[in-house]
Amino acid sequence: MLLNKLKEEDFTVLKGSLESGRQSPNSLGGMLILAIFLQSLLFIVIYMVGGDRSSFPNKDILFMVHLVVTIVVIVLSIVYAIPYIYMKYQKTQYMLTIIVSQNLFGISFYICALLFIGKNRDITTNSLMMFTYVTLIIGGLIFISTCIRFYILLRKGSYRTGTKKDRLRGKFEKKSYLPMVIIGSIGLVFILQYLVRTFGLEGIDTIVMMTLFISLFYAMLFVLPEQLVILYCKYRFDSFNFKEDGTLKPMGNDRKDA
């Protein structure tokens, strides 16, 4: 794996959210509890409002799969919100929070957009599936380009602290946003054109809402690589995990057996 060639200090800046306490096991436990109610509410809204009379293909199968995934995630969220459990299995808890955040703020809104678009009786199944495939491909390109960008920045030392590259990190990152901006702009133009043809300009409120929902899906794909790298660091480096008293462990322990 390419990341195995990097050292612990190459990931130091990523510890910021851990050092601040925002992503401590205790904070993540509270977030999981809150997410239980948000996921339940959002799921009901999606299939009562968006799914009602939608012509999206195989929406019943989509409903069952999404229901099972949501129930499993909710049950696990309850388990990993228990202090004894989450302190003992911090890595698993963090992995669960990635799944929860992607499901809650990305996948669910994307599904809602597709189902709502499918409520338009003038839209054909082929057109709707073409839109789905294209938006998924754009999402895949955003994820892949973000992964490449993230790895290049790590190799350049942009996520080290106390170095010249650390001080210039903002400069490097601004330049590296260009591929995602291009892909995102193309995706946004495609989405807007499709929605305008589908709903017409009189449905501008629907167009804005659906564009926002799909944009949230893309935004979550944009942050997913960083979430996965932090998860990798929690498995490889002991310093990305917390002691029983809630304090972050010191640097210097390279773990490859966890």
Integer angstrom CA distances of residue 25 from 32, 36, 78, 85, 247: 10, 17, 14, 10, 10
Tokens standing for residue 186: 């193309």
End-to-end alpha-carbon separation of the chain, Å? 16
Q: Are 220 and 130 in contact (CB under 8 A)?
A: no
Calpha distance 90→31 (Å, rounded): 14
Total-model pTM: 0.85
Question: For residue range 228-241, what is the model confidence (pLDDT) as tens digits?
Answer: 999 999 999 999 99
Calpha distance 63→111 (Å, rounded): 10
Q: Mind giving me the DSSP string for 63-121?
A: HHHHHHHHHHHHHHHHHTTSHHHHHH-HHHHHHHHHHHHHIIIIIHHHHHHHHHHTT-T
* 77, pLDDT greater than 90: yes
> Which has more pLDDT, 255 or 29?
29
Q: Give the phi and the psi of residue 247 in degrees, each rounded to 5.
A: -90, 150
- Identify the pLDDT of residue 107: 93
- Identify the pLDDT of residue 106: 92
Q: Please choose, from the candidates 111, 108, 137, 120, the residue with its C-alpha nearest in 3D space to the C-alpha of residue 59.
A: 111
- Triad 10, 16, 19: Cα angle to 5°: 120
Band of the pLDDT at 177, cuts 50, 70, 90? low
* DSSP 8-state code for residue 246: S
For 186, residues 6+ apart whose C-beta sits below 8 A from its C-beta are: 138
